[in-house]
Amino acid sequence: MSGGPFANLRNRAGERLDVAFVAPSGDAASGARPLVVLAHGVTSAHDRPYLIALGEALAARGVAVARLSFAGNGASEGRFEECCPTKEVDDLGALLDAAVAAGFGPLGYAGHSMGGAVGVLRAARDERIAALVSLAGMHHVGRFYARVAAQLRYGELLLGKPGCPWGKALDEDARALGSLDAAAAAVRCPWLLVHGTMDELVPIGDSFDARAAAQAAGHAPELLALSGVDHRFTGAIDGLVRAVVPWLAERVSSRSGSVPPP
């Protein structure tokens, strides 16, 4: 599996972004070329089992998939010390630009944990995202890092992960973002939040609060609580696929026409 049409993708900083492209099975209806971007959380990469499973199931339903590793993560270029949600929003924008240029559309996005926050921030301002899925998504970004990095000095390992030092860029960006109420209120596309009730890293309350912020603005995201499931969907990947894939495939396959620029 290679990057396919995204093999040479670079972000605004000139860093090459590693993308695993999964071609769809069969032909999409009405000449559309729907594509879903799947992205990971902090200290992670696009090779997580739940992302692979989602991608394979979407491709089997005729939807192309681009699994993205943000700069500084996985095989992408860049330094982890420079990773932060705001930069990753730009990375996602680079991939969306390339997808539209390659003739893909409609476009969907599903992001895990901090990747969920990235999706909300991007969808709030980018109408090219036709459907959004938050997988154990962060809403209270500042609160999360204040908790997990409270005792860390810059340079010490975030969440104990090798190659993932806690640094100023993420610290300052998380503090500036705080909670994503305004971004959640600005999301206009169909939005599904999926969260395990036993999530040990990002509490399910984040998803309830994201939905409440959107509802206060007159929108109605769907929220699926997975009973007894942890942050990485351990033992629940099949159920995750059954919940997410039909929802996403229906929404990106049923929309036709050109995709507007951001």
Closest CA to 11 of 88, 73, 81, 111: 88
Contact by Cβ (8 Å): 108, 35:
yes
Strands (E) located in 19-128: 19-22, 35-39, 64-68, 107-112
What's the predicted TM-score (pTM) here?
Answer: 0.94
Please report the domains of the chain, with CATH numbers, ordered by start residue: 4-139+181-253 (3.40.50.1820)
Average pLDDT over residues 103-128: 98
Contact by Cβ (8 Å): 193, 120:
no
Average pLDDT over residues 205-218: 98
What is the helix (H) or strand (E) element at residue 48, kind and residue range?
none
Kindly give, in sequence order, each residue whose CB lies less than 8 Å from that of residue 261, ignoring residues fewer than 6 positions away. Answer: 100, 128
End-to-end CA distance of the chain: 29
Q: How far apart are CA 49 and CA 66, in angstroms?
A: 15
- Tens digits of residue pLDDT in 117-147: 999 999 999 999 999 999 999 999 999 999 9
Contact by Cβ (8 Å): 221, 163:
no
